[in-house]
Homo-oligomer: A and B are copies of this chain.
Amino acid sequence: MKPFLAHPFDDDRLHEECGVFGVIGVSEAANFTALGLHALQHRGQEAGGIVSYDPELGFNSAHRFGYVRDNFTKQSLMETLPGMLAIGHVRYSTTGAKSPHIRDVQPFFGEFAMGGCAVAHNGNITNAEALRRELIERGSIFQSGSDSECIIHLMARSIQSNIPERMKDALRRVEGAFSVIAMTRTKLIGVRDPLGVRPLVIGKLGDGAFALSSETCGLDIIGAEFLREVEPGEMVVISKGRIESARPFAPRNARFCIFEHVYFSRPDSIIGGRSVYETRRQIGVELAREAPVEADLVCPVPDSGTPAAIGYAQESGIPYGMGIIRNQYVGRTFIEPTEQIRNMGVRLKLNVNRSLIAGKRVVLVDDSVVRGTTSLKIKDMVLDAGAREVHFRIASPPTAWPCFYGVDTPHRDKLLAARMTPEEMRDWMGVDSLAFVSLDGLYRAAGEAGGRKNSCPQYCDACFSGDYPVAPYDQVERGFEMKEGSETAPGFAAE
C-alpha cells in the first residue's frame, strides 16, 4: 500500500526538497552513501535511493520510500549494492505530484552508448516543463514526473562522446537551481548552478577516496575531512584519486539561498565558512536588539527555534527555558490515519511545560512563519498553560513569496505574510507582540556586516523580497505574477 502522507504539523514549514551524497574510492561505497544520506535526512524524508557500480557486477540500484535508516541499513539490501563508487539521494516530494511513485525517486539512471550514468539533483529546474515538451517531441520517453529527469534525457541526446561533456551540454540547457551529483563507471561528478543556490561540498576520505555531500554534516558522519565547497558554476570530476575542475557556465554573481542558514541546513554544518548554528544564534542576538521586550522567559519553538532563542536570551539577559517539549517519537508519515489523528496537529508533537510557563511573560522564538497555523496553536497552548503574556520573535523576515528553486512552498495566497502586515499578523495571532528579524539583520547575522546590498544582493532571498535571481520560466508561463518592476531575467543559457 502506498503511504498516505499526512503532515499534521509540518505543513506550516518550508521544506527543502532534496539532499545528495556520493563517494568514490572506498569499499562498500553504498554503505558510506547510506550514512551520508542519513545525516542529510532533514533535507528529505519521503524517499531515498542509491546507485552503486562494481566492475564485475555493473550498476545496481535501490529506491525506497521511508527513512534511510529503515531501508539502507539492512544487510540484505546493502549486499545488492556492491562497489567502490556510489551516489544517493533523499527527497521530500516531487514538484506537483499528488501521490508518490517509486519511479520518481532519484538517482535516475541512463544507459548511454559509452556506458551507464546515474544522476541525482538537489534544486529545481525552472524551465523543466518546456524542456520536457521539447524532449518528448523528439522521442524521449519520460519515466517519472520529476523535473530532474530532463537532465538525463538531455545527456542521452548530446552528441558529445564522454559523459562529463554530455553533462555540460545538458546543464547549459537547464535553468534554475541545481546541485547535481552524477556517476559513471569510473567517475564521481559534482556540479553547482552559476548562482550556487543549493550547497554542495567536497570531502576527503584519505588515500584517493573522496565524497560529495549537500552539507558538511554528511562528511562528519563518515569521518571525511571537509576540503572545500564546489563553487557556484563549477563542475568537479573525481577519478583515480584526482579532482578536476571545470567552469561550464558563463560567470554570474553567486546568490546562495539564505533560508539554508535560517532553517534548511543542519546547525552543525558549515556553509560559506560559517557555522549555521552560529548564524542562527546571531539572528537571535539581532532580534533581541531590533525587537526587545520585557519578559520572564525565552522559549524556543523546538527544535528549529532553539539556537535563535539561545541568542535572544543571551543578548537580552532574560532566562532561557524549555517551555515547550517535543515528543521524540513523531515521524512524518501516517498510513491511513484516523480522523482523530488528522485533527490532532501540533499536539502530537509538542506539549507545554506548564509549571515553567504558568504566570510568566514568555518570549517564543521560532524560525519562520509560513501559514501561521502552527503559531496560532502554540500561542493557544501557551496561554492555556497560564502564560501572562506571549511575545513571538521570528528568526527570519516575513515569508511573502514562494520559492521556485527546490523548496516546497505553499501557493502565495496561503502565505500569511503575503496577505497581512506584521501588525495584522499580530492581531490575527492574538499575541502581545510579534516581531520578525529585518532583512538587514538577517544578512548581518549571516556575516554581511553591512547588511543587504540591495543593488546586488549577496544571497537569494526571493522568499522574503520577491527578487527572483532567475525568472521562473514555467511558472510565469502558467500565470505567476512577479513583483512589479521585476525584470523577467533570462535564463543562463540565453546569455
Contact across chains for B220 and A70 when beta carbons are under 8 A apart: no
Interface residue A186 (Cβ < 8 Å from any Cβ of B): no
| Chain A residues within CB distance 8 Å of chain B | 1, 28, 31, 35, 38-39, 41-42, 45, 67-70, 73-76, 78, 103, 110-113, 133, 136-143, 152-153, 156-158, 217, 220-221, 266-268, 270, 274-275, 277-278, 281, 303, 306-307, 310, 314, 319-322, 325, 327-331, 334-341, 344, 347-348, 351-356
Contact across chains for B73 and A356 when beta carbons are under 8 A apart: no
User: Which residues of chain B have C-beta atoms less than 8 A from A158's C-beta?
Assistant: 139
Q: Report the nearest B residue to A267, measured CB to CB.
A: B325
Contact across chains for A270 and B338 when beta carbons are under 8 A apart: no
User: Which residues of chain B have C-beta atoms less than 8 A from A344's C-beta?
Assistant: 35, 221
User: Which residues of chain B have C-beta atoms less than 8 A from A139's C-beta?
Assistant: 138-140, 153, 156-158
**Total copies of the chain:** 4
Bound complex: CA of A139 vs CA of B374, how far in Å?
48
Q: Of B39, B73, B141, B355, which contacts A278 at CB under 8 A?
A: B355
Are A329 and B277 also in contact (CB < 8 A) when A136-B112, A156-B140 are? no
User: Which residues of chain B have C-beta atoms less than 8 A from A327's C-beta?
Assistant: 38-39, 41
Quote the shortest CB–CB distance from A158 to chain B (angstroms).
Answer: 8
Contact across chains for A268 and B325 when beta carbons are under 8 A apart: yes
Quote the shortest CB–CB distance from A396 to chain B (angstroms).
Answer: 19
Contact across chains for B143 and A338 when beta carbons are under 8 A apart: no
User: Which residues of chain B have C-beta atoms less than 8 A from A73's C-beta?
Assistant: 334-335, 337-338, 341
Contact across chains for B113 and A141 when beta carbons are under 8 A apart: no
Q: Give the interface centre of A113, A306, A330, A340 by most chain B CB atoms within 10 Å.
A: A340
Q: Of B68, B113, B351, which contacts A329 at CB under 8 A?
A: B68
Bound complex: CA of A152 vs CA of B70, how far in Å?
36
Q: List 28 A-B contacts (CB under 8 A).
A: A28-B340, A31-B338, A35-B344, A35-B348, A41-B328, A41-B329, A45-B329, A68-B329, A69-B334, A70-B331, A73-B334, A75-B338, A75-B339, A110-B141, A138-B139, A138-B157, A140-B141, A141-B141, A141-B143, A141-B156, A266-B351, A268-B351, A268-B354, A274-B355, A275-B355, A277-B322, A310-B322, A320-B320
